[in-house]
Amino acid sequence: MWTLFKKKKDVKVVQPLSKKIDDAVARLEVVRNRLNNRVKVLEARSKEIFEAVVKAQAERDKDRAVLYANELAELRKMLRKAIHSELSLMGVVHRLQTVRDFDELADVLAPLREILIQVSGDVRGVAPELSENLRNITDTFDEVSVELGTFPEIVGAGPSVSDEAEKILAEASAIAAERSKSKLSEVEI
C-alpha cells in the first residue's frame, strides 16, 4: 500500500518545450532588467566622477584629478562589462524565442503533412505523377521536422513502393476501375 503512494510522488509532470522556453525567457528578462538598472546607476556615477575630474583639473589639483580619473577608468570597465552582459542576455532571449517559434512551426507542419498524405493517397489512382509530387513534398516536411528535432508520427504508412511498383499499381487500378464499370453495365442490362 505504501509503495503505491511512494510511486505517485516519483511521477514528474513534463512541461512542453514552449512553456519551458517561456519560463526561461521570463527569468532572463528579470535578470536583464536588473542589469539594465545597474547600468543606469553606473552611467550616472560615471558622469558624477567625470565632473569631479573636470572640477579637480579646473582647481589645478592634479592628485585629486588622477585619483578620480583612476576611479572613473575602473568604473567604465565595469560599465562596459555590464552593457556587454546585457546585450548578451538580449541575444539569448531572442534565440530562445526563435527556438520557440520553430517549435510552433513543427506544430503547424504536422497537420499539413497529414493532409498531404491523405491527398496523395486520394489522387494516387487518378494522377500518379501528382501523387508522387505530393509524396516528395511530404518528404521535405519530414526533413524539416528532423532538422527541427521533431519527428512526425508515421500514421498509416504502408510498405515502401518503388517507382516501378507505383506504375504497376496505377495500371492495376485503371484495370480494376474498367472491370468495375463493365460489371456495373452488365448488371444494368
Cell triple for 117: 498524405
d(CA 32, CA 86): 6
Task: Write down the pLDDT at residue 74.
Answer: 94
Task: Write down the pLDDT at residue 63.
Answer: 92
Task: Write down the pLDDT at residue 189.
Answer: 55
Query: What is each CA distance from 74 to 69, 81, 87, 123, in whole angstroms?
Result: 9, 11, 20, 73
Task: Write down the pLDDT at residue 15.
Answer: 63
Picking from 32, 150, 30, 153, the residue whose alpha carbon sits closest to that of residue 100 is 150
d(CA 103, CA 97): 10
Task: Write down the pLDDT at residue 142.
Answer: 76
Task: Write down the pLDDT at residue 154.
Answer: 47
Stretches where the chain sits below pLDDT 50 are 1, 153-157
Task: Write down the pLDDT at residue 53.
Answer: 93
Task: Write the single-letter amino acid at 156.
Answer: G
Task: Write down the pLDDT at residue 3.
Answer: 54
Give 133-188 pLDDT, tens digit per residue. 878 888 887 777 776 665 554 444 455 667 777 777 777 777 877 776 676 566 55
Evaluate whether 65 touches 56 at the Cβ level (below 8 Å): yes
Picking from 83, 132, 86, 138, the residue whose alpha carbon sits closest to that of residue 109 is 138
Task: Write the single-letter amino acid at 75.
Answer: L
d(CA 40, CA 48): 13
Task: Write down the pLDDT at residue 95.
Answer: 87
Evaluate whether 123 touches 131 at the Cβ level (below 8 Å): yes
What global pTM score does this model have?
0.55
d(CA 81, CA 87): 10
